[in-house]
Amino acid sequence: MIPEKVGPYIIERKIGSGGMGTVYLGRHAETGKVVAVKILPASLAREDGFVLRFTREIEAMRKLKNPHVVEVYESGVDDETYYYAMEYVDGITLSKWIRENGRMHWKDVINYSVQICSALKAAHDAGIVHRDLKPSNLLITKDNQIKLLDFGVAQVFASTKLTKTGGIIGTAEYMSSEQAQGRRTTKKSDIYSLGAVMYALLTGRPPYSGKTSMEVIQKHKFGQFDAPRLFVPEIPHWLDEVVCKCLEKDPDKRFPDAYVLSRRLKEILKKVELSRQEKTAASGTLDGTAETIVAGDDPNAVGGTLMRDLVRAEIECAQSKPLVSQLLDNTFVLIAMLILLILGGVWWFNSADITPEQKYEKGVTLYQKGKLYWPQARDEYLLPLLREDPETWASKVDDMLMEI
């Protein structure tokens, strides 16, 4: 049943609900200001633990002043109903966007992820770990701005209230590997969750899925996901690497914080643009050379001047040969150059990419040599095989990767 009024706010309609409360669209009775009003259900309000958690959510959000975090205006208790009023965002959640559209273009993913990094940096600087970062907690406004909300399970670094060792808190598909193991969460846990969000936006699916939450949790602890580029080859390899690094099971192997991650994401756009410019310049140089040579047929064209210069240079070269030409006329020099060419060819052939079968053999050899060589076997041979051709190699390398 929708309440008619909560505190000074007239309730107009229900917006959504979650584990820690129901959100309504409200309007201030005196000022007419439109807000979102979150109410703690009466059944939960009878439990001190939930009241403390609800209060902590309010305190956490009040600490944050960032354009990408929903702002809290006020809070209170109205006839034993705990509530708080916050900024109303007219938009859709990323989870709804994914359901309706599937994959998102990689440039948009970078844009939104940089905004999320800004929100996370503000939270982490305030000593807060969100712990439940997921598409349904991220809103896109009509002007393409991201808003982070729902700090219901956030952990305040300085507080020991409501934190239990061994408890699993978060949403299965987007929780970090340490959360899945019930270990202490840090700001790097939010980095992992952001990696899972980016993965879902790029591919239309989370990195791990299963029939039950426990099955998904087990995959976060021990499983190996497929790189995003296996599903969407047009993703820049730099972005693929960033997402995979965010999803490292060892927190120390992830990006150290949200600021560094945002810098890496911005660099990808610059790298892609620079790479495109280099390809355009190279293509333009080749096309320009061809056009100039063809233009040599017209004595009034620029190409005509080029052709005359080339002919004149050729005549001058024939009249007085430089030292290089004299050397090229020497039989012994030519033999030496031929030997160097053959040696270079042999070196190139030996250093060329090895076949998948050879990669597999080298990986197995390193694996059998002992644990000291396992990381090399995994990173240089087994994982590349799995990414290049999962259908062929999954059955052969999965057991070794699981043990590693």
Active site residue ranges: 132
Q: How many Cβ atoms sit within 10 Å of the Cβ of residue 170?
A: 21
Q: How many Cβ atoms sit within 10 Å of the Cβ of residue 79?
A: 7
Under 8 Å between Cβ of 196 and 206: yes
Separation between Cα atoms, residue 243 and residue 199, nearest integer Å: 7
Closest of 158, 140, 160 to residue 149, by C-alpha = 140
| Backbone torsions φ then ψ of 138, nearest 5 degrees | -125, 120
End-to-end CA distance of the chain: 54
To which H or E segment does residue 145 belong?
none
Separation between Cα atoms, residue 264 and residue 271, nearest integer Å: 10
Separation between Cα atoms, residue 227 and residue 233, nearest integer Å: 10
Under 8 Å between Cβ of 154 and 130: yes
CB-side exposure of 264: number of CA atoms within 13 Å?
A: 21
Please name the amino acid found at residue 361. E
Separation between Cα atoms, residue 399 and residue 404, nearest integer Å: 9
Which residue is associated with the tokens 């936006």?
A: 201
Residue 379 DSSP symbol: I
CB-side exposure of 106: number of CA atoms within 13 Å?
A: 19
To which H or E segment does residue 242 belong?
helix 237-246
